């Protein structure tokens, strides 16, 4: 057994504590799909301006076959008092990955959920669904607040 001085013991504790902090700081964070959309205050509520998102990795399941449907979801809105927070939007769209949904229904639901959460002055949600059976589908939903 090797005897350590108090200074050496303290240095060892600090070193171990530092390693613990590094491990927790770099530990992978678990993110999960969520239907919870979050908002933040519009920084310029007196100005009318557009916020546009292009989400090219949207997936859901065909309710008839269970096969995956892929789409690009385009969102363009004029905020009023609230703006949607991007990470929550990403997790929200991800939440459809294992759900069966008709293209028309899912595009309308996305629009309805954004309207209920942010109360925009206006919004347009477009779902551009990839080819299935030789047919592409584009669904455009608009709402004026």
Q: Point out the residues that are catalytic.
A: 62, 69
Contact 40, 81 (CB under 8 A): no
Other Cβ atoms less than 10 A from the Cβ of 32: the count is 7
Nearest to 82 by CA among 113, 115, 55, 129: 115
- Strand segments (E) across the chain: 39-41, 51-61, 68-78, 82-84, 122-132, 135-144
Other Cβ atoms less than 10 A from the Cβ of 48: the count is 11
């Amino acid at each position: 057994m090797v005897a350590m001085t108090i200074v050496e013991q303290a240095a060892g504790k600090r070193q171990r504590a530092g390693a613990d902090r590094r491990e927790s700081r770099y530990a992978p964070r678990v993110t999960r799909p969520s239907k919870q959309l979050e908002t933040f205050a519009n920084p310029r509520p007196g100005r009318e301006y557009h916020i546009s998102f292009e989400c090219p990795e949207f997936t859901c399941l065909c309710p008839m076959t269970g096969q995956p449907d892929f789409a690009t979801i385009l969102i363009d809105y004029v905020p009023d008092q609230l703006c949607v927070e991007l990470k929550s939007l990403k997790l929200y769209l991800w939440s459809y990955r294992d759900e069966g949904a008709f293209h028309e229904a899912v595009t309308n639901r996305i629009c309805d959920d954004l309207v209920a959460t942010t109360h925009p002055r206006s919004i347009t949600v477009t779902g551009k669904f990839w080819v299935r059976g030789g047919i592409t589908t584009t669904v455009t939903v608009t709402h004026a607040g």
